[in-house]
């Protein structure tokens, strides 16, 4: 008889070429390891021929034994897979420039226990947000960036990531473009918030652009960072309705609220291991 006080919960995520028998094989391996499956979601992409799966399971066996039970199945089906303890907080580096709304939302939600992340540091290319970091008791790192110092700044950033074992980087309105090399190294591990319902209104003053065009919907897009600016795999989007009575300044305020919610939702789904990459798209099990 299994002592329920000794059981632990794990999250298995996987992707592989789609073929018959995957679910049966995974469930069988988990059964052999003494697991009880508490949640299971799967999706087969017809466009890429890839199968995706997310399973939550409890077991009393050590994680090493669970890995050993799953490894033969993973090899047989050519899986890319990860096994994570459920509820483990993801070590997350937050980056911002001068706008505080997205950063403040993430810090508040993390402190209130809503976001399953640990925040070891905040990085900015300005000093404006140092007071906010101090209020939340998070170390603040000022790393200025110019065209001449960009390489050194990214070296300093990489060193900080390594020092704090950073697993996820969140650009909470960080208004600097990361190098192609760094974007590549952070594939699937960095989330950006874009102040529009992509692909509309890129560049500066997006809400003023939208206001000038008389749009009826504004929104925000949270996506993974890639070398192709603002074209990474989309995790979450939200829109709100506006009309001719709204001023450009009201667009900005409404947009900030949407940005904060959208980014926080994307970070939560990533930290709960609900997002899997499917080329330039995502599969989100929510």
Choose among 255, 198, 207: nearest CA to 226: 198
165 classed as catalytic = no
Q: Which of 185, 230, 257, 278 is catalytic?
A: 230
Strands 8-17 and 50-59: antiparallel
- For residue 121 the two structure tokens come to 């540091």
Compute how many other C-beta atoms are within 10 angstroms of the C-beta atom of residue 75. 9
> Is the preceding peptide bond at 199 cis, omega within 30 degrees of 0?
yes
CA distance 68 to 48: 29
Give me the active site residues, please. Answer: 230
């Amino acid at each position: 008889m299994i002592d329920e006080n000794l059981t632990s919960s794990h999250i298995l995520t996987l992707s592989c070429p789609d073929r018959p028998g995957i679910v049966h094989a995974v469930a069988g391996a988990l059964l052999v390891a003494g697991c009880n499956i508490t949640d299971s979601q799967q999706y087969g992409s017809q466009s890429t021929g890839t199968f995706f799966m997310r399973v939550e399971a409890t077991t009393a066996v050590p994680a090493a034994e669970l890995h050993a039970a799953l490894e033969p199945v993973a090899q047989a089906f050519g899986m890319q897979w990860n096994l994570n303890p459920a509820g483990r907080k993801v070590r997350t580096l937050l980056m911002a420039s001068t706008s505080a709304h997205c950063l403040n939302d993430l810090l508040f939600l993390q402190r209130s226990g809503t976001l399953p992340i640990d925040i070891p540091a905040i990085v900015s290319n300005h000093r404006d947000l140092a007071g906010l970091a101090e209020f939340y008791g998070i170390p603040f790192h000022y790393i200025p960036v110019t065209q001449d110092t960009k390489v050194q700044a990214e070296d300093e950033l990489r060193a900080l990531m390594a020092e704090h074992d950073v697993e996820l980087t969140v650009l909470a309105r960080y208004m600097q473009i990361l190098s192609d090399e760094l974007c590549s190294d952070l594939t699937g591990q960095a989330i950006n918030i874009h102040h529009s319902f992509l692909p509309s209104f890129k560049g500066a003053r997006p809400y003023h652009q939208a206001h000038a065009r008389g749009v009826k919907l504004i929104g925000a897009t949270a996506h993974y960072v890639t070398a192709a600016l603002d074209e990474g795999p989309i995790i979450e989007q939200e829109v709100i309705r506006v009309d001719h009575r709204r001023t450009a300044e009201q667009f900005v305020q409404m947009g900030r609220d949407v940005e904060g919610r959208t980014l926080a939702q994307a970070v939560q789904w990533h930290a709960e291991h609900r997002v899997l990459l499917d080329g330039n798209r995502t599969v989100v099990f929510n």
